[in-house]
Copies of this chain bind each other. A is one copy, B any other.
Amino acid sequence: MSNNITMKDIANRLGVSSVTVSKALGDKEGVSDELKQKIKELAQEMGYRYNTLAKAMKDGVSYNIGVIIAERFTGMAQSFYLQFYQHVAKSLEEYQYSGILHILHEKDEAQQVLPRIYYEKKVDGFIVLGQLDKHYIEALQNSGLPLVLLDFYTDKSDVDYIITDNFYCMYELTNYLISNGHRHIAFVGSLYSTSSIQDRFLGYYKSMLEHRLTIGNGYVIEDRDEKGRYIDFVLPENLPTAFVCNCDMVAFNLINDLKKRGIKVPEECSVVGFDNDIYSTITEPPLTTVEVNMQEMAQTAVKKVIKKVNNKTTNAGRVLIKGKIVYRDSVQNIN
């Protein structure tokens, strides 16, 4: 078991008090530079390690933030949020905070069982990564701890959300298709399944409206049922020249589907996705898509929880973070 040097030990060796050692190591006023220097050197030499726990207890905070991810988001194909968590953990480091990951089981979510780290005061606040049951969010709010929701939002207006600007990104992406000569453009995604899909659809729709283009018959194509299970696509009789997919995985599936029907991508039909995840590069051809700015989203979320922990009241609201279009080979210029 490692060493266990305390400030008192250093103080004793130097014949000073532990108060002085505390001031010196904390670079506080009221210790001569000379003594400070000496103390720091000895601390180094003795292999002193600061005990955060003691400070934490004094301050009444833990210097930890809990990050909650629903178990269903952590499956194999869905590493997206674990990826995201990494950025959150990194951002927390910058504030001398640590992240504690809590994988939320379905049952606990349904019964509003808060994480153990809450009941043990191990965290000063929560970041929720990915959509959760509304009642669970309410339970978290009632806990009184600072709360920031990352990568989704609901109709509750008294909460902080940090989200990708789905609407605007998809608007831009559709504009891009149109500038490439496309007029018959379909959308792939079930509009009632998540708010992200809805907003992406609306961005697509705005672009269409702005360009006075109409959405053809059967041009809004379902990709999953009410339980979120993926279903087979029902393609319209008159094929569009381009498909806007709500995510890369669906674009991947669609392209395979089109290929099976003997339709060449992008020569006969263009396809774009969203997320810039693994599916965008696996696809043949690689996908033109939108890359989410995880890093900035994570940083923003972290900044916000920590501000709230420090009692700086902030206005609740949605913060939209812009993504960027990644141009690859799945769009044909048909001008």
Binding site for B on A (CB under 8 A): 1-4, 49-54, 56-57, 60, 62-64, 74, 76-77, 79, 82-83, 85-86, 89-90, 93, 96, 98-103, 116-122, 143-145, 277-278, 282, 311
A257 and B115 alpha carbons, distance in the complex (Å) = 48
Assembly CA distance A143 to B47 (angstroms): 10
Q: What are 24 pairs between A and B in contact, CB < 8 Å?
A: A2-B144, A3-B144, A51-B57, A51-B120, A51-B121, A52-B122, A53-B53, A53-B62, A57-B57, A63-B122, A64-B98, A64-B100, A76-B83, A76-B277, A76-B278, A79-B83, A86-B101, A86-B103, A89-B102, A90-B103, A96-B116, A98-B117, A99-B100, A282-B282
In the bound complex, residues from chain B placing their C-beta under 8 Å from that of A54 are: 57
User: Complex formed: what's the CA distance from A86 to B60 in Å?
Assistant: 28
Residues of B within 8 A of A50 (CB): 119-121
Please determine whether A89 and B76 come into contact, CB atoms closer than 8 angstroms. Answer: no
Question: Distance (Å) between the CB of A257 and the closest chain B CB?
Answer: 13
Closest chain-B Cβ to A277's Cβ sits at a distance in Å of 7
Q: How far is the CA of A102 from the CA of B98 in the complex (A)?
A: 9
Number of copies: 2
| Interfacial chain B residues near A143, Cβ < 8 Å | 2
Residues of B with C-beta under 8 A to A119: 49-50
Complex partner residue of A120 from B52, B79, B278, CB under 8 angstroms: B52
| Cα distance, A57 to B51, chains bound together (Å) | 9
Q: How far is the CB of A43 from chain B (nearest CB, A)?
A: 11
Residues of chain B with a CB closer than 8 A to A2's CB: 143-145
Tell me, in angstroms, the Cα distance from A54 to B197 when the chains sit together: 46
B121 touches A93 (CB 8 A): no
* Of the residues B49, B64, B118, contact of A118 by C-beta under 8 Å: B49
**List of B residues within 8 angstroms of A60 by Cβ:** 4
Minimum CB distance partner of A66 in chain B:
B98
Q: Told that A52-B120, A53-B121 touch, could you supply 10 new A-B pairs with CB distance under 8 A? A: A49-B119, A50-B119, A51-B121, A53-B56, A54-B57, A82-B82, A89-B101, A89-B102, A98-B117, A278-B278
Q: Does the CB pair A100–B100 fall under 8 Å?
A: yes
Which 4 A-B residue pairs are closest in the complex by CB-CB distance? A2-B144, A79-B79, A82-B82, A52-B120
| Residue from the list B3, B86, B121 in contact with A52, Cβ < 8 A | B121
